[in-house]
A and B are shown apart, each in its own frame.
Chain A
């Protein structure tokens, strides 16, 4: 289930179009911590300004079970504040819609609706992703240890779940981007499996 959320998260973050690259502000000189703090604030502000997105993605899963990695690709769509759709087109068509707290999965003619609140911990996690998109830093930090590095033109976020009770599935989430656009999202799981999503430029409407 964690992984579902990871995928959702990947989709969510992947919505930031490159074209929306913000005008990076020069960080004022000061202590490193203060830099990081101000940089994170600025990133949150940039992210919060985005209302819509439509991008292509490719994803690679590496699973201990399998001898070869799995590749998939498709599109991501986002509408503020809490609707996200991940359309996987290859190798198999699948549609994943997150709306509010409900995750709807259409796959092979079946529809599953999952209430994320039924999976304790995951709900917090998802809320945090939403908080990222909404630029709600306080909510994000409630659930993760957040480290910010780099500069607005090329930044990197590392999120480590705070709640030790959580299922060990997700060990770490790394997000890289420039301005309000995300380029890469990597999810590492406790069992060594991982997935990397590479996010392309904004697609024409």
Chain B
């Protein structure tokens, strides 16, 4: 009966093969950061990239609990030993003094380059006398006793000053020779992987390696290690976990959603052939969507595949309308309505395309291509494939039943329509707390795991920078020099109690200029001997005793400066690597700040820090509120998504106006959709949720899907025949059930991005149909009402 069949099928086959080829060669990613927004400014992007691939992103934190403290310490030592021997790990720290000797050697050798107290004044007669008197006083104390073996070489106590300066105030405490949590219940290790943080496969291998090494260490510990368990966290672990979660969810949700929808259709059609054919547009649409995203964005996010479920929910409707409302004049009577529905959906999704939130733009393109393909397949391919004898169950009785139900509900529709009114009031009452402003709300990592991560971070002192001073420039030395100026300003703020503390790369690696300046503070040998003799007058110490000091100072004057390469293999390497980084545009130094009271840095404090920072023409110095910046960015995207959704809504209204040429009809079609959106938003907020960007997308989907219902009901109202009314109602109910099922499955997801979408669209689609049926009454059911019935006329 439909002659486009053969050519349509041929074209479809060619396109399907092409799309499959594109999809097969596409690059898929599960990295959440590919889905989440990128920072817009180049400086911020650099920073985010550095944080993503930099050393902080390669830190695995290990907590060993259970058993006795000694057993934990032993397992920790054993684990550290085997991980240190593995090339997959760049650094392993658990608090034991391995490598400590090397640090001490380096610090002592380079003490006159590293010590902040090395100034010309320090080496005057007066300065030497003051410093040496202090050291002598200290000899009677434990601190001085530490100094005794070094005293003859370092009577001014530079080494002690350096150790003080480097003292990691946030480093974990140790017990039994290894790092432990503050309560002593967990032994802690911090492991840095060698592979970049964005290489999730390598990170997964590294995590597995840590687990198997732990098992080996446990076995080596014998019965003493009984009950000792390990838990790991950190960016690599979370990246692997979120990838696994997304993978599992995408497969689970797609199969569950498809299975349930198939079951529903089987019950409705009573024909397996019809069910299989009904999935043809869905499969074609999914394939087209993936191919379009791959071509448009170069990379397909696994979550986008998860949206395939949403396509099941909507695209399957087209074949339902085809099968159920199959008439001789299908192309004339039903297809135009579907076509308008598809166009409205496309209008809605097209609004997402300009979003700077990569995930939304991908979803928009995927849905446009998918729906378009599904609709075209339904129109031009599927009819030719329908076997002539395809018989589906008689759905007219279902339609008749639905009609009676609507009639009943219509009699109380005032009460039902009170629901959106209440919802609007409720939303107005909660208008200040509607939106989730935190990007973390979209993370697939459970809050328990996020809490554990934060706990371990606090315990191990791993960097979790909220506020950072960034110093960026083309030249490493220039960056280091400006960092030193910034450090001096920050040190004053610490002294004034404005901030609690800060870290800086120059603490471990001073600029060459500063090292040279320090070398120049050291007097020549004869001069130093003369000054020293004068300084020691009256002290219980003879100059001869300090001959090693004279020798070391002379050597230090000619010493080669300390470079990043010179730090290799010491425990200073990691902090320098994480705080001083080379990017594509030059060098960046990071100076993380710590709040004075251990809380967050307040806005007022941030203002004072900003005012204190040095300004430099070549080098860019800025204070970055990293967490706040990310959340502000996200708020921006949220606002943008809201605006885009409104634009999409406006475009849909405009399209309907052009197509239907009746303000009244358009108002009747749009009103139930708007009411459904308001009601769903109120339901979500009442459930204690805060609305995220995905909820906004979900609302757009409600309009896109719901417009089909409204259009069909409106179409029916315009040209009613008893049979077509019943079949239309039946097809709408089945399509609605399919949509609610598919999105209901999505709502059970543990990935918030998918769950948010599902929990919005599933109830929204149901309400859209209900409100449409109440607001757009069938002509036959309301014989007395010629046109738009006022709400009060409901019988």
CA distance A1 to B150 in the complex (A): 12
Name B139's contact: one of A70, A102, A118 (CB within 8 Å).
Answer: A70
The answer, yes or no, to whether A103 is at the interface (CB within 8 Å) is: yes
The answer, yes or no, to whether B251 is at the interface (CB within 8 Å) is: no
Interface centre among A8, A112, A123 (most CB of B within 10 A): A112
Pick the interface stretch among A23-31, A77-85, A89-97, A150-158.
Answer: A89-97
Name B141's contact: one of A94, A102, A115 (CB within 8 Å).
Answer: A94
Name A102's contact: one of B134, B148, B173 (CB within 8 Å).
Answer: B173
Chain A residues near B87 (CB-CB < 8 A) = none
The answer, yes or no, to whether A171 is at the interface (CB within 8 Å) is: no
Name A4's contact: one of B95, B146, B175, B545 (CB within 8 Å).
Answer: B146
CA distance A108 to B175 in the complex (A): 26
Chain B residues near A88 (CB-CB < 8 A) = 140-141
CA distance A96 to B146 in the complex (A): 14
Name A112's contact: one of B137, B143, B148, B541 (CB within 8 Å).
Answer: B143
Residue of A nearest to B152 (CB): A65
Contacting residues of chain A (55-101) with chain B, CB-CB under 8 angstroms: 59, 61, 63, 65-68, 70-72, 88, 91-92, 94, 96, 100-101
Give the A-B pair count, Cβ closer than 8 A: 83
Q: B22 to chain A: closest CB distance in Å?
A: 59
| Docked-complex contact A115 and B174, CB < 8 angstroms | yes
| Docked-complex contact B140 and A70, CB < 8 angstroms | yes
| Docked-complex contact B151 and A107, CB < 8 angstroms | no
CA distance A12 to B146 in the complex (A): 20
CA distance A170 to B138 in the complex (A): 19
| Docked-complex contact A66 and B143, CB < 8 angstroms | no
CA distance A123 to B176 in the complex (A): 9
Residue of B nearest to A96 (CB): B142
Q: A81 to chain B: closest CB distance in Å?
A: 16
Residue of B nearest to A92 (CB): B137
The answer, yes or no, to whether A7 is at the interface (CB within 8 Å) is: yes
Residue of A nearest to B546 (CB): A65
| Docked-complex contact A105 and B173, CB < 8 angstroms | no
Interface centre among A65, A68, A72 (most CB of B within 10 A): A65
Chain B residues near A92 (CB-CB < 8 A) = 137-138, 141
Name A63's contact: one of B139, B177, B542 (CB within 8 Å).
Answer: B139
| Docked-complex contact B97 and A118, CB < 8 angstroms | yes
| Docked-complex contact B138 and A3, CB < 8 angstroms | no
Name A103's contact: one of B140, B142, B151, B152 (CB within 8 Å).
Answer: B142
The answer, yes or no, to whether A38 is at the interface (CB within 8 Å) is: no
CA distance A115 to B141 in the complex (A): 17
Q: A66 to chain B: closest CB distance in Å?
A: 4
| Docked-complex contact A65 and B95, CB < 8 angstroms | no
CA distance A118 to B177 in the complex (A): 5
| Docked-complex contact A101 and B175, CB < 8 angstroms | yes
Assuming the A-B contacts A61-B140, A65-B151, are A7 and B167 also in contact, with contact meaning beta carbons closer than 8 angstroms in the complex?
no
The answer, yes or no, to whether B96 is at the interface (CB within 8 Å) is: yes
Assuming the A-B contacts A65-B545, A67-B540, are A7 and B145 also in contact, with contact meaning beta carbons closer than 8 angstroms in the complex?
yes
Chain A residues near B97 (CB-CB < 8 A) = 118
| Docked-complex contact B142 and A105, CB < 8 angstroms | yes
Assuming the A-B contacts A65-B152, A70-B136, A92-B137, are A110 and B142 also in contact, with contact meaning beta carbons closer than 8 angstroms in the complex?
no
Chain B residues near A91 (CB-CB < 8 A) = 137, 140
Chain B residues near A120 (CB-CB < 8 A) = 177
The answer, yes or no, to whether B603 is at the interface (CB within 8 Å) is: no
The answer, yes or no, to whether A117 is at the interface (CB within 8 Å) is: yes
Residue of B nearest to A70 (CB): B140
| Docked-complex contact B541 and A67, CB < 8 angstroms | yes
Contacting residues of chain B (83-118) with chain A, CB-CB under 8 angstroms: 95-97
The answer, yes or no, to whether B164 is at the interface (CB within 8 Å) is: yes
| Docked-complex contact B139 and A61, CB < 8 angstroms | yes
Q: A69 to chain B: closest CB distance in Å?
A: 9
User: What are the interface flags for B262-295 relative to A under an 8 Å C-beta threshold, 1 for contact and 0 otherwise?
Assistant: 0000000000000000000000000000000000
Q: A170 to chain B: closest CB distance in Å?
A: 11
Q: A63 to chain B: closest CB distance in Å?
A: 6
Chain B residues near A66 (CB-CB < 8 A) = 136, 139, 540-541
| Docked-complex contact A3 and B136, CB < 8 angstroms | no
Contacting residues of chain A (174-191) with chain B, CB-CB under 8 angstroms: none
Contacting residues of chain B (173-196) with chain A, CB-CB under 8 angstroms: 173-177
| Docked-complex contact A59 and B142, CB < 8 angstroms | no
| Docked-complex contact B140 and A59, CB < 8 angstroms | yes
The answer, yes or no, to whether A113 is at the interface (CB within 8 Å) is: yes
CA distance A113 to B545 in the complex (A): 31
Q: B661 to chain A: closest CB distance in Å?
A: 81
Name B175's contact: one of A7, A8, A107, A117 (CB within 8 Å).
Answer: A117
Residue of A nearest to B161 (CB): A110
Chain A residues near B164 (CB-CB < 8 A) = 110, 112
Name B540's contact: one of A68, A96, A118 (CB within 8 Å).
Answer: A68
Assuming the A-B contacts A3-B142, A7-B145, A103-B142, are A65 and B174 also in contact, with contact meaning beta carbons closer than 8 angstroms in the complex?
no
| Docked-complex contact B142 and A4, CB < 8 angstroms | yes
Interface centre among B97, B136, B138, B142 (most CB of A within 10 A): B142
CA distance A100 to B176 in the complex (A): 11
Beyond A70-B136, A103-B142, A115-B174, 4 extra complex contacts between A and B, CB < 8 Å:
A1-B146, A3-B145, A4-B145, A105-B141
Closest 10 CB pairs of A and B: A3-B145, A115-B174, A4-B142, A68-B540, A117-B177, A67-B540, A66-B540, A70-B140, A72-B140, A94-B141
Identify the B interface with A (CB < 8 A): 95-97, 134, 136-143, 145-146, 148, 151-152, 164, 167, 173-177, 540-542, 545
Identify the A interface with B (CB < 8 A): 1, 3-4, 7-8, 59, 61, 63, 65-68, 70-72, 88, 91-92, 94, 96, 100-103, 105, 107-108, 110, 112-113, 115, 117-118, 120, 123, 193
Sampled A-B contacts (20; CB under 8 Å): A1-B146, A3-B148, A4-B142, A7-B145, A63-B139, A63-B148, A65-B148, A65-B152, A88-B140, A91-B140, A92-B138, A96-B141, A101-B176, A105-B141, A107-B138, A115-B95, A117-B177, A118-B177, A120-B177, A123-B177
